Structure 1
Amino acid sequence: MLKFILFGIGFVLLFEGLVYFFFANKVINILQIISVYNTEKIKLFSTLMVLLGVCLIYFTFKYYEFK
C-alpha cells in the first residue's frame, strides 16, 4: 500500500515539475490572472478539486485490486 502512495506522490511531483519547466513563461501570466479572482472562488475550486481527487483515489482502490 505504501509503495502505491509513494508512487502516486512521485508521479504527481514529476508531472507538476514538467508542467512548470515547459510552461515557465505561462505560469507568471496564470498567477497574474488568479490574483484578480476572489479568494472565496479560489477556495471553492480548490475544495472541489480535493473532493474529486479523494473520490478518484477511493473508487480506484475500491474497484481495482492492487498486489
Structure 2
Amino acid sequence: MVMAVIMVMAVIMFMVMVVIMFMVVLMFMVVLMFMVVLMVRVGLRFAPGAPEHPAGNQHNRYP
C-alpha cells in the first residue's frame, strides 16, 4: 500500500515537472521569437556597415 502511494506521488511529481518544463520551454521560445523579431526590426535600421541610405530602410526589406 505504501509503495503504491509512493508510486502515485512520484508519477504526479513527474507529471508536474514535465508540465513546468514544457511551460518554461514555451515561454523561452516565445521570448526568443520576440527578441529575434525585435532584433530584425531594429537591427536592419541600425546595423553597423549596412549598405543602405541614411534616410532609412523603406525598400531594404530583404537584404
TM-score class, shorter-chain normalisation, is 0.3 to 0.5
Give the alignment's TM-score, normalised by structure 1. Answer: 0.41
Give the alignment's TM-score, normalised by structure 2. Answer: 0.44
